[in-house]
Structure 1
Amino acid sequence: MKVGIMGGTFDPIHYGHLLAAERAREACGLDEVWFIPSFQPPLKDNEPNADTNARLEMVYRAIDFQPHFRAMDIELERGGTSYSIDTVKSLQENYPGRTFSYIIGSDRVNDLPQWHRIEELARIVAFIGVERPGESIDVSSLPVYIQDRLTIIGMPLIDISSTEIRQRQADKRSIRFMVPEKVYSFIKRNALYEKPE
Structure 2
Amino acid sequence: MGVLGGTFNPPHVAHLLSAQEAYDQLGLDRVLIIPVALPPHKDAEGDPGAHVRLELCRLAASHDDRFEVSDLEVRRGGASYTVDTLRALHATFPGDELSFIVGGDMAFSLPTWREPAEVVGLARLAVAEREGARQADILERLATIPSAADRVDFFDLPRMDVSSSLVRRRVATGRPIRYLVPDPVAEYIAQHGLYRSPVGAPTSSA
Change (3 A) 1:189 1:32: same
Q: Which moved more, 1:5-14 or 1:106-115?
A: 106-115
Q: What's the offset of the Cα at 1:41?
A: 4.8
2:48 equivalent to 1:50: yes
CA distance in 2, matches of 1:164, 1:192: 14
CA distance in 2, matches of 1:52, 1:69: 19
2:175 equivalent to 1:173: yes
Letter paired with 1:176: R
Report if aligned partners of 1:62, 1:182 keep a CA contact under 8 Å in 2: yes
Report if aligned partners of 1:36, 1:74 keep a CA contact under 8 Å in 2: yes
For residues 114-150 of structure 1, the C-alpha deviation after alignment (integer angstroms, 9 at most, x for no partner) is: 1111111111110001125799442243132322211
Q: What's the offset of the Cα at 1:113?
A: 1.3
Counterpart residue number, 2:6: 8
Instruction: Compute the RMSD of aligned alpha carbons.
Output: 1.9
SS in 1 for 2:109: helix
Counterpart residue number, 1:154: 156
SS in 1 for 2:119: helix
Q: What's the offset of the Cα at 1:78?
A: 0.5
Normalising by the residue count of structure 2, what TM-score does the alignment of the two structures yield?
A: 0.88
For residues 47-84 of structure 1, the C-alpha deviation after alignment (integer angstroms, 9 at most, x for no partner) is: 46121111011111111111111000000010111001
CA distance in 2, matches of 1:46, 1:142: 30
Count of residues paired in the alignment: 194
SS in 2 for 1:70: strand
Within a 5 Å distance, the mapping from 1:22-171 to structure 2 comes to 22-42=20-40, 44-47=41-44, 49-131=47-129, 136-137=134-135, 138-144=137-143, 145-171=147-173
Letter paired with 1:118: P
CA distance in 2, matches of 1:147, 1:93: 25
Higher Rg of the two aligned structures: 2
Unaligned runs of 5+ in 1: none
CA distance in 2, matches of 1:87, 1:60: 19
Normalising by the residue count of structure 1, what TM-score does the alignment of the two structures yield?
A: 0.91
Report if aligned partners of 1:41, 1:83 keep a CA contact under 8 Å in 2: no
CA distance in 2, matches of 1:93, 1:129: 24
Report if aligned partners of 1:130, 1:155 keep a CA contact under 8 Å in 2: yes
Report if aligned partners of 2:101, 2:127 keep a CA contact under 8 Å in 1: yes
Identity percentage of aligned residues: 35
Unaligned runs of 5+ in 2: 198-202
Counterpart residue number, 1:183: 185
Q: What's the offset of the Cα at 1:168?
A: 1.4
